[in-house]
Structure 1
């Protein structure tokens, strides 16, 4: 087969029922010049049997040893990809049938943009629509959205992203040391290289509230955000962007400390706040007062545990 226009990157580890739906949503795409590379992270035999049974020549399965790190699986698939664009799909999510066609048309109409994302619909573990009540409103930010990403004002699901393969490779792909927030880590680097095109139509379907979801552990997730902002506080190209990263690091350290307290880990809360104090005091003036309140909570919890 000649080089396809799009290489679809799909990492998976079991979740067979969801995986079947994800793969089916690719096969019903109205645009069919694609290849799909499924990076299997050491799934059980039932899932492997399903994957071996996919007969379409456009599908390649990579059989990987289990790591539990999606970035490793995605990067392995990216290295095998041949398409001009990369599109990403997680194994518990889905695409609308016109997703590739509409998004590729949008990119072709915006030749200055090397990547694109779309709005998404949310479903629950059983596939029923999830209301967006209480969630931040969707805003279709386009152009230079680096600041919007740093503030998490641009809400981007990995399933909604298409990017030039060459640009993803230029940025180094997914950071395999970034266990959580690895998708936003990539978006920041993409945004610094190219304006973003946005499609204000929900063309991807993201499963929210799935207990098997990789991001379910909130402590690890916020530790990932702290790690991300620490990195970019030192490496972003402008003083303004680095200041935003330092502020976001400080805010996420406070949330992480609070999560440790709620989990009955006052010592971890203390260590989190002490680790963050020097930089956070300068980056975020309210830090001292808010950190003192969290430390007081940690002390109270530790006293109760000893009583």
Structure 2
């Protein structure tokens, strides 16, 4: 559902920064410091606190910069709800996103504002990012797939996850964001890519092939559970787009990606010992997947065998 967008008035900041947080006081301090260190100063920072404990709240109450606003929200555990609450308060021409455990380099806002002002046909922008470990040390990316910048109409690249976009690197025209409906609060995982698909369908994108955001990699806690939730989110996302993307080719891409995600999700359930969930996932995914991806039935059969062997091994 599209959000109401008020007109931009004289005196409003050029950039509204949306930062959701929940109980990450150490990382949060670093994130806020990276905003305060921006060379571009015409911004407002809206911190949406998702019901944090007193340590985080004490820190937030102590921020004295007049450009910083804190929204005190009841805890939901859903970042999209916090982000949308902050977006509704935003007054800037552009909206930028920063998660509370990530950082920006000092020139991030300046570079993106210049890029968007210099590309009037583009309603949004993203950049390359650097990766760090939870302790702040750089991540060795020698074994990673090379990052490739994709600009213009990137709808298909986003659907195929060929365009790797971190939410911390995104800046978007506020009117465009409101027009496409902001974050889908029912999409609990993959909500960022859900937004990118809608933005890409509506506007070309300007990319900056330079790491202007710094993303903190996962610490490995609850990794298996997170992967299950993530692939359940991908199935949900592709299921949604397979039905109403604007052309046949894009719908075919969504159906193929959905079929592949169903197989991965079933495999993850089987490895976690959730055999019934694995079989239920395959059964539910069969009708659409067979049409979208002919080899699917053979690969699905392999997952059924894997799930069955897992049951026998645990019983043995």
TM-score category, normalised to shorter length: over 0.9
Mapped contact 2:160–2:257 kept (Cα < 8 A)? yes
Cα deviation, residue 306, structure 1:
3.5
Cα deviation, residue 214, structure 1:
10
Aligned to 1:25: 34
Question: What is the aligned counterpart of 2:159 among 150, 155, 158?
Answer: 150
**Distance across 1 between alignment mates of 2:300 and 2:156:** 25
Q: Are 1:294 and 2:309 an aligned pair?
A: no
Question: Per-residue CA shift, 1:59-79, capped at 9, x if unaligned?
Answer: 100000000000000000000
**Distance across 1 between alignment mates of 2:152 and 2:135:** 36
Aligned to 1:259: 268
Q: Are 1:217 and 2:213 an aligned pair?
A: no
Residue correspondence of structure 1 range 126-275 to structure 2 within 5 A? 126-211=135-220, 217-275=226-284
Aligned to 1:74: 83
**SS of the counterpart of 1:244?**
helix
**SS of the counterpart of 1:8?**
strand
**Distance across 2 between alignment mates of 1:82 and 1:210:** 35
Q: Are 1:37 and 2:55 an aligned pair?
A: no
**SS of the counterpart of 1:230?**
helix
Cα deviation, residue 131, structure 1:
1.5
Cα deviation, residue 106, structure 1:
1.0
**Distance across 2 between alignment mates of 1:296 and 1:98:** 53
Mapped contact 2:238–2:257 kept (Cα < 8 A)? yes
RMSD of aligned alpha carbons = 1.4
Query: Aligned pair count?
Result: 307
Cα deviation, residue 300, structure 1:
1.4
Give TM-score, length-normalised by structure 1. Answer: 0.97
Gaps of 5+ in 2: 1-9
Question: Per-residue CA shift, 1:48-103, capped at 9, x if unaligned?
Answer: 00000001111100000000000000000000000000000000000000000011
**Distance across 1 between alignment mates of 2:261 and 2:140:** 26
Mapped contact 2:12–2:92 kept (Cα < 8 A)? yes
**Distance across 2 between alignment mates of 1:282 and 1:55:** 58
Aligned to 1:83: 92
Question: What is the aligned counterpart of 1:47 among 25, 38, 56?
Answer: 56
**Distance across 2 between alignment mates of 1:75 and 1:34:** 18
Question: What is the aligned counterpart of 1:120 among 129, 135, 139?
Answer: 129
Cα deviation, residue 215, structure 1:
10
Give TM-score, length-normalised by structure 2. Answer: 0.95
**SS of the counterpart of 1:217?**
helix
Cα deviation, residue 211, structure 1:
4.4
- Greater alpha carbon shift after TM alignment, 261-270 vs 209-218: 209-218
Question: What is the aligned counterpart of 1:56 among 58, 65, 68?
Answer: 65
Q: Are 1:283 and 2:292 an aligned pair?
A: yes
Question: Per-residue CA shift, 1:188-246, capped at 9, x if unaligned?
Answer: 00001100000000000000123469997110011001000000001211111111000
**Distance across 2 between alignment mates of 1:144 and 1:213:** 36
- Greater alpha carbon shift after TM alignment, 103-112 vs 121-130: 103-112
**Distance across 2 between alignment mates of 1:301 and 1:139:** 39
Gaps of 5+ in 1: none
Aligned to 2:7: none
